[in-house]
Structure formats: structure tokens, C-alpha cells
Amino acid sequence: MAPGPWPLAPLNMPNTIPIASDHAGFELKQRLIPVLRSLGYEVEDLGTDTAASSDYPDYAHPLAQRVSRGEVERGILLCGTGLGMSYVANRYPNVRAPVVWSPEIAELSRKHNDANVLVLPARFLTEDQAIEIVKRFLDTPFEGGRHVRRVDKIEVHGDAR
Ligand code: RB5
């Protein structure tokens, strides 16, 4: 069969990436958006839209909901420490949202934990560091194998809730 046209990303790497931040992550989010677009991703900017003070849960909930429902495979959240965004996102079923501060952690969060929401501590990363982390996160597949069983055990079921 003649090659192309095809999506810029492979089929197992969906093309749509929602991204959201509070005020502390706003500037870095604005810098990451064109980078993601240049990598071939369709970016959904879920806010915030200004550097004015805002509440991180207001931005984490809509993004985590999209991932939890399977409407998108991965998303990116930013706040000052990454912690608040992570707390919110990880309350949603099937969302695994690590705070990531290095490309190595990004890689392992994908390989071992099948992480699906990348959370960046914007006040503790340079732009270059954040770009490297995002690339590594998006480029690394889940390793599967023994990690499937472990990831399956993350969800809290029934009486334990
Ligand atoms: C905002 O000052 C800061 O608290 C927020 O961005 C985040 O770090 C919370 O976890």
C-alpha cells in the first residue's frame, strides 16, 4: 500500500493533549504549548488564561475528568509545586498523575506506572528542563509485563473506599 497521509503521532500515541495550569504554572504552560504543537500534537488549552491568582483544582478537575473518561489518553498539568494538581488528578479513577522533576522520572513513570497525566512543578523547573521532561513522557511507552499487575492493583475497590 502507498504510504501516508498519516497522523504525525503513531496510532498508539493519540494526538490530542489537554494542558492546564494555575497562575504559578501559567507562564511555563504558555511556553510548552507551541513546543507541543511543533511536535505534532493538537493542544487543548484548558486554562488558566492569565497570570492572575487562581485555584489549581478549578483547572485540574476538567482535565482529569477527560483522561478518566478515556476521552484523551494523556494530559499535562502545572502548578507551583505540582502537588496540588497531582492530589486532585489522582482522585479520579484510572488517572495516574505523578509530579515529575526529571526526564528519568518521566520515563519511569511511563514504563513502570503507565502514568497518563504529567504534572510539572513549574516553580522548580527551567523551561528547558520542562521541555525535556514533556518529550520523554510523551515518547516513552508503558513497559507492560509485571507492571500490568501492579498498575491494576492501584485502584481502590468496594469496602476499602
Ligand atoms: C500557588 O501559590 C501554589 O500553591 C500552587 O501553584 C501549587 O503549588 C499548589 O500545590
Reduced to 3 states (helix: H, G, I; strand: E, B; else coil), residue 159 is helix
What is the rounded average pLDDT of the residues 65-72?
97
Looking at every residue in the chain, the average pLDDT score rounds to 92
Give phi and psi for 12, each to the nearest 5. -85, 5
- Segments of 12-140 assigned E as strands: 16-21, 42-45, 75-79, 117-121
Q: How many whole angstroms from 4 Cα to the centroid of ligand 1?
A: 44
User: Is residue 61 annotated as a catalytic residue, yes or no?
Assistant: no
pLDDT band at 160 (very low <50, low <70, confident <90, very high): confident
Q: According to the model, what pLDDT value does residue 80 have?
A: 98
Q: Is the CB of 16 under 6 A from ligand 1?
A: no
The label of the residue with cell 498539568 reads 77
Would you give the distance in Å from CA 96 to the centre of its chain? 9
Quick one: which atom of ligand 1 is closest to the CA of 79?
6
Q: Is the CB of 79 under 6 A from ligand 1?
A: yes
Q: According to the model, what pLDDT value does residue 16 have?
A: 97
Residues 111-125 pLDDT 10s: 999 999 999 999 999
Residues 139-156 pLDDT 10s: 999 999 999 999 999 999
Residues 1-58 pLDDT 10s: 334 444 444 444 469 999 999 999 999 999 999 999 999 999 999 999 999 999 999 9
For residue 15, how many other CB atoms are within 10 A of its CB? 16
Q: Is the CB of 94 under 6 A from ligand 1?
A: no
User: Is residue 147 annotated as a catalytic residue, yes or no?
Assistant: no
Alpha carbon distance 72, 146 (integer Å)? 25
Instruction: Tell the CATH superfamily of the 16-125+141-152 domain.
Output: Sugar-phosphate isomerase, RpiB/LacA/LacB (3.40.1400.10)
117 touches 59 (CB < 8 A): no
- Segments of 9-96 assigned E as strands: 16-21, 42-45, 75-79
